[in-house]
Chain A
Amino acid sequence: MFRAAAASAAAALLVVLALMLFKIGQASAPVWSKHAGELLTGTRWAPSKEIFGGLPFVFGTLVTSAIALVLAVPVGVATALYVSEFAPRRLRGTIASLTDLLAAVPSVIYGLWGFYVLVPTLRPFQAWLARTVGRVIPIFGTPESGLHGVGLFSAGVVLAIMIIPTISAVSREVFLTIPREQRHAALALGATRWESIKIAVLPAARPGIIGAVILGLGRALGETIAVTIVIGNVPVISKSILSYGATMPSIIAGNFPEASGSHAQALLAIALMLFALTLLVNILARVLVRRRVA
């Protein structure tokens, strides 16, 4: 009986998801039949003219999430490692609680703080980046539309801060629940603390860490409010990460209130595309984890 309850809870997840997909698919069907190619590959978004190019949003979503991961994964995993392995015993709980506190900050605060505090702070840094590294590597260069402060880079930084606690907390749990015997064995054989971690902890933790990174990526891909406030929400594809842009969640959040007819359907279609992207990312993660575990 207990087993049946547990099984139905698990199955219910699939049912709800299927219902959601069905509803969104059904609602967006008309626009798919007319604009499918454009939604997937078009670069121009002009709803008033019935032009629905979805590529700028895919671009924005991927770029901001990539920036977020590049910044957050090293910090998150290293933080988790420090708390579980290196920190003095009496500090562990405090540091863990503090890192978890980053998750307590609501996303709307990240967005507002990001806009009023972080963006003005990042603007001179972005200008410096464009002036120096940007001359050689175009992705760090001054965007064609000019440097505004808000944009892909700022959104990426905000996202990074937001997903650090997710990556860190889950990684920490993973590190802590690995049995200590192997670590002690390595130490007994003369390894340094870091070496014992490298040998005994990291390999076993790898699947869990990847799980943590995927959870973090999931959070980054789907973050709506904070990104909408700091990204500039202009559907363009730029050579530079310092440009403004838009993500799939941000255009949905920004436009859905007003949208009607084909515009609303196009936004729902983008929601479907976002679902497909999340699906793809998770399939990739599965492949990675399987390879390591084997």
Chain B
Amino acid sequence: MIGTISARRHRKDRLITRLSAFAVALALIPLGWILYDVAKIGLKAIRSVDFFTQGPPGDPSALGGGIWNGILGTLIIVGLAAAIAVPLGVMSAVYLAEFAKPGSRLASVIRFFADVMSGIPSIVYGIFVYTLIVAATHSFSAWSGSVAIALIVWPVVMRTTEEVLKLVPEELRQASYALGAPKWRTVVQVVLPAAGAGILTGALLGLARGAGETAPLLFTAFGNQFVSSALGKPMSALPLEIYRGARTAFDPAIQRAWGAALTLIVMVLVLSVGARWLLGRRARALS
């Protein structure tokens, strides 16, 4: 290998570079396309800031109004789901990556079933929570929706956090032990911050997924054309506004639904970009 690089090897190198650039284009074309289509219809409904501060007009064929019921609902339901799933996910990952003995049977089993849980269709979580909570309490409720979403987000956060924790160099941990820190402190003050950007990416991917889920909310939070913040009552959420609104017979309602879609996409975008900015230099080094 020592010596000048042949023309053939150069060509191969360039080819691979171009092919992977082409792959990026392939991945980004549908994105641009979807965003364009969503914006094209959705912007028709966003006539003023009222779109974000008011609920839908009582008459679905009326112009104007907005999707504040969905925005508030998503914030509450996903917020509550995050409060449940992210700590659980990170703590479970910490156990698997830091405390479990290498080759531990239990750890393997947990990891395995977390992957399995990621594969269970979201509607099954909805049905499960419906049977467990909604049917038992005879009421659709926002908090049951949060539970369903949390179940989906938990394994995703756990798995990606664990992957990232594993890749934190062992030297960092050794250095901490050498300074006399107990294990838990090492984990909390050295390992977790070192993996911080990766954990956040994982959490955000999980939450982005959770915020966009419709099926689990259909029979838990159920939806509400009125603005509501009551956890024990039916509540709307952006995906529900999108799914149910896009399927009505009235153009203004359909436009509001696509406006909701645009809002949701922007919301999640702000979350992702915001997280990177928040972490500043550390994130930039890693990306």
| Residues of A near any B CB (own CB < 8 A) | 1-3, 5-7, 9-14, 16-17, 20, 23-24, 27, 74-76, 78-79, 81-83, 86, 92-93, 95-110, 112-113, 117, 161, 164-166, 168-170, 173-174, 176-179, 189-195, 208, 211, 214-215, 217-219, 221-225, 248-249, 252-253, 256-257, 268, 271, 274-275, 278-279, 281-283, 285-286
Contact = CB atoms under 8 A, between A and B. Distances in A.
15 contacts: A2-B184, A20-B128, A86-B20, A103-B268, A104-B268, A106-B239, A109-B265, A113-B34, A173-B201, A190-B2, A192-B9, A195-B9, A221-B121, A224-B122, A271-B121
Contact of B214 (A97, A106, A281): A106
B88 A12 contact: yes
A108 B212 contact: yes
Interface in B107-124: 107, 109-110, 112-124
B251 interface: no
Contact of A104 (B98, B107, B208): B208
Interface in B72-89: 87-88
Interface stretch (B137-145, B222-230, B269-277): B269-277
Contact of A13 (B158, B264, B265): B158
Contact of A253 (B21, B163, B187, B215): B215
B9 to A, nearest CB: 5
A177 B110 CA distance: 24
Contacts of A170: 160, 163
Interface string B90-130: 01101110111000001101101111111111111101100
Interface string B40-68: 00000000000000000000000000000
Given A12-B88, A93-B287, A248-B121, A195 B13 contact: yes
A225 B243 contact: yes
Interface residues of B, number: 100
A161 B32 CA distance: 12
A81 B20 CA distance: 7
B180 interface: no
A234 to B, nearest CB: 19
Given A104-B268, A169-B205, A97 B273 contact: yes
B27 A9 contact: no
Contacts of B20: 78-79, 81-82, 86
Contacts of B27: 75-76, 79, 99, 102, 164-165, 168
A75 B96 CA distance: 31
A178 B215 CA distance: 37
A281 B119 contact: yes
Contact of B31 (A1, A11, A96, A101): A101
B246 to A, nearest CB: 5
Given A86-B21, A106-B211, A194-B16, A6 B91 contact: yes
A109 B34 contact: yes
Given A98-B31, A108-B242, A253-B123, A14 B109 contact: yes
A218 B1 CA distance: 41
Contacts of B164: 173, 177
B167 A177 contact: yes
A144 to B, nearest CB: 28
Given A97-B273, A222-B119, A222-B121, A13 B211 contact: no
A102 B31 contact: yes
